[in-house]
């Protein structure tokens, strides 16, 4: 085989290999993003539930209303803007809307399965029946 044919074959193989590796990287990134999103959703629900039950509920409601801005200020200093007062109040609303953790976990599981199925099936963006398995 001539040198030119070898380099052409190598180039074709390299492009195929590079494409496969890129697909692996993108797939791993999408799965990681879905997992992080799932964990953050549960975290936000748990924070909202904690604030709702420990601070805002019952006789401490007036005290709790004053505590949310203070907690938000400290968390924002420690962890950034995702824990501002408005965000904490949304977390409380989320926990009040879905009062049981298994409900939230189920929603997240279905969402995660859908995201993973969407990687495998172009039709998953429209409807993917295996999501609920």
Grade residue 21 by pLDDT with cuts at 50, 70 and 90: very high
Closest CA to 37 of 95, 109, 98: 109
Question: Distance (Å, rounded) from C-alpha 107 to C-alpha 126?
Answer: 18
The angle formed by the CA atoms of residues 94, 111 and 82, to the nearest 5 degrees, is 45
Closest CA to 50 of 38, 68, 77, 69: 68
Grade residue 118 by pLDDT with cuts at 50, 70 and 90: low
CA distances 22 to 8, 16, 32, 84, Å, are 21, 10, 15, 37
Closest CA to 50 of 17, 12, 6, 95: 95
The predicted model scores a pTM of 0.66
Six-digit token string for 116: 């993973």
Per-residue model confidence as pLDDT tens digits over 27-53: 899 888 888 888 888 899 999 999 988
Six-digit token string for 76: 């924002």
């Amino acid at each position: 085989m001539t040198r030119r044919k070898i380099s052409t074959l190598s180039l074709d193989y390299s492009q195929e290999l590079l494409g496969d590796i890129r697909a692996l990287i993108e797939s791993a990134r999408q799965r990681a993003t879905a997992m992080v999103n799932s964990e953050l959703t549960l975290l936000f629900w748990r924070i909202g539930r904690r604030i709702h039950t420990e601070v805002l509920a019952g006789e401490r409601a007036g005290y709790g209303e004053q505590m949310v801005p203070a907690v938000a200020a400290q968390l924002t200093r420690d962890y950034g803007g995702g824990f501002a007062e408005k965000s904490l109040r949304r977390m409380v609303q989320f926990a009040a809307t879905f009062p049981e953790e298994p409900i939230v976990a189920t929603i997240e599981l279905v969402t995660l399965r859908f995201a993973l199925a969407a990687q495998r099936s172009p039709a998953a963006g429209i409807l993917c029946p295996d999501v609920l398995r």
